[in-house]
Structure 1
Amino acid sequence: MSTPLTLFQTDLFRPTYRPWKGERWELLLAPMLICKGYWSEAMLVTDMAGLIRRDGPASRTWMSMTPMEIESQEIGCRFAAGHTVVMGLGMGWAAANAALRPEVTRVTVVELDPEVIAVNAIMDVFGQLPPEAAAKVTVIQGDALAHAPDGAADTLMADIWQPLYGDDRLEQVRRMRDNTGASRVYYWAQEMDIVHRARQLGLPLDAPSVARIVEGMGLPLIGPADVANYPELIERAARNWLRTDWTPPGYAVG
């Protein structure tokens, strides 16, 4: 007998979106679909919005409100504090959830593409927040790899990539951290970097190994000291999204 699907639910804020089409971007809504989370099993998702980028005749999903996207950013959202700099606006939900935290004093969002900024304004993503949370948010058009705030940030949240893994991602995050002076960092799919290094070193995904790997990454990552079952979550994400026999060539930390 098959196990019935669970309806995806989260206590995080999910903005309301509607269909929209711009010059290079499009918002689509799916009434119902089945998809797995970043570390969760497959679930039923209703009213799922997706941001689609068109590159000539081709199109690709850049961001969506699937369990995978939400779970892969929720640790950063839940532990953001102080002045939080969000690199990459996407659909605005991560910045919105950071702004809802009472520990967050302000949110600066850096986005390169003016059309992405425009669609968030059309959807009034931050206007859907309580006024005191919405007032924390400032959106700046700029380059995430070059932006430096007026004074050191407390939290850096970065999500400027479309693939789940990239060879140059760690170095790019280090650059953003140096530019912002952030005392804590969470970047999208950082768990994949940890898994790759563990495989390279032949280490189990337990707390001591994760601590060793994170120390070698040279970043004050949110997660290892904040989430009690963080190694278990990393292992689940790897099982869902990585082949067990694959390690990127030339991958190194340090």
Structure 2
Amino acid sequence: MPDQPGLAEEMGLDLFDIGPLRELYRPMRNAGWELRIIESAPCRGYWSGVLLAQDIVILTRGEDTWMSLTPVEFESQILGVEAARGHVAVMGLGMGWVAAETALRDEVDRVTIVERDPDIIAMHAELDLFARLPGGVGSKVEIVESDAFDWVPDAPVDLLMPDIWLPLVGEDRLPDVHRMQDKVGASAIYFWGQELEIARHAAASGCRFDWAGVLETVRGFDLPVLIPDTEDYPGKIRTAASQWMRERWFAPGHIAILEGAPVF
């Protein structure tokens, strides 16, 4: 195996490591799904720029990559994980990383994963990820085979974490979250790519990416969207938007709102 720290130094990049859960994954296949491992590759983060990721686990189906243990996946999910408590509902099983990290939190009592594809559920039965979590916290996790738009919880949900989409940003995001929330009635929601959705709507309405603009934009969602308790959250939104949305999602008149945001 290459000397990863040495390679990172040679490339002038910081080294990214997803953490100890990486060791619980192995290459495997089930039906159209496949878990593969790549030794190392430069990967752009959600807001951190390019890092050298090592031992990258990738979940694919056909030509599509559905999830990967890379900087963008980590950064676009971790703020929701860090805010999780009580009963958490995760829409979409994927690699199970978000649910596993959430179950490891002392503040979390229960994690319900809603997944409609029996093939990915079967892969996880073979992988046995949750049973191998430290401290027996995997006992908090339950996988329910159901559609995210149909599932109704049997107990109040403190945090809804939807992640059922292939692209990082899309115009269907808010309508989809509303459909889920109508059935779930969660106290709070953190959905994958919400920073880019905030950016898209803020730019369209002329709001700047400061705290006032973020809060005004989120109020317009008419959803209990969780705003992470981090001082630089508006800055993270601005940087993520500049890295992932500039050409495709912003009209020319909207790009000025990103002035001062670093572009990697």
**What TM-score do the two structures reach when normalised by structure 2?**
0.87
**Residue of structure 2 in register with 1:41 after alignment:** 49
Q: Is 2:130 the counterpart of 1:126?
A: yes
Which structure is higher in helix share?
2
Shift of 1:22: 2.2
The residue identity in structure 2 corresponding to 1:216 is: G
1:48-87 equivalences under 5 Å are 48-54=56-62, 59-87=63-91
Q: Judging changes above 3 Å, is the alpha-carbon distance between structure 1 residues 12 and 84 closer, same or farther for their aligned structure 2 residues? A: farther
CA RMSD in angstroms comes to 1.7
CA distance in 1, matches of 2:55, 2:18: 14
Shift of 1:15: 5.1
The residue identity in structure 2 corresponding to 1:17 is: Y
Q: Which runs of 4 or more aligned residues in structure 1 lie more than 6 Å from their structure 2 counterparts after TM superposition?
A: none
Shift of 1:21: 2.0
CA distance in 2, matches of 1:159, 1:62: 10
Aligned length: 242
Q: Judging changes above 3 Å, is the alpha-carbon distance between structure 1 residues 71 and 9 closer, same or farther for their aligned structure 2 residues? A: same
The residue identity in structure 2 corresponding to 1:5 is: L
Question: Which of residues 88, 92, 96 in structure 1 aligns to 2:96?
Answer: 92
**What TM-score do the two structures reach when normalised by structure 1?**
0.90
Shift of 1:245: 7.0
The residue identity in structure 2 corresponding to 1:241 is: W
Residue aligned with 1:185, SS: coil
Q: Is 2:262 the counterpart of 1:238?
A: no
CA distance in 2, matches of 1:217, 1:15: 38
Give a deviation string over 1:102-149, Cα, whole Å, max 9, x none.
Answer: 111100000011111122222221122124311100001110111011
CA distance in 1, matches of 2:68, 2:180: 24
CA distance in 2, matches of 1:29, 1:11: 15
**Residue of structure 2 in register with 1:251 after alignment:** none
Question: Which of residues 168, 173, 177 in structure 1 aligns to 2:177?
Answer: 173
Question: Which of residues 118, 133, 151 in structure 2 aligns to 1:114?
Answer: 118
Question: Which of residues 223, 230, 246 in structure 2 aligns to 1:227?
Answer: 230
Shift of 1:156: 0.4
Shift of 1:76: 1.0
Do 1:82 and 1:154's aligned partners in 2 also have CA atoms closer than 8 Å?
Answer: yes
Q: Is 2:202 the counterpart of 1:216?
A: no
The residue identity in structure 2 corresponding to 1:108 is: T
Shift of 1:244: 5.0
Query: Which segments of 5 or more consecutive residues in structure 2 lack a partner in the other structure?
Result: 1-9, 252-264
Q: Percent identity?
A: 45
Shift of 1:38: 0.7
- The more displaced of 114-123 and 134-143 is 114-123
- The more displaced of 45-54 and 237-246 is 237-246
**Residue of structure 2 in register with 1:252 after alignment:** none
Give a deviation string over 1:198-220, Cα, whole Å, max 9, x none.
Answer: 11112210000000000110111
Query: Which segments of 5 or more consecutive residues in structure 1 lack a partner in the other structure?
Result: 249-254
**Residue of structure 1 in register with 2:29 after alignment:** 21
Residue aligned with 1:135, SS: helix
**Residue of structure 1 in register with 2:156 after alignment:** 152
Do 2:114 and 2:144's aligned partners in 1 also have CA atoms closer than 8 Å?
Answer: yes
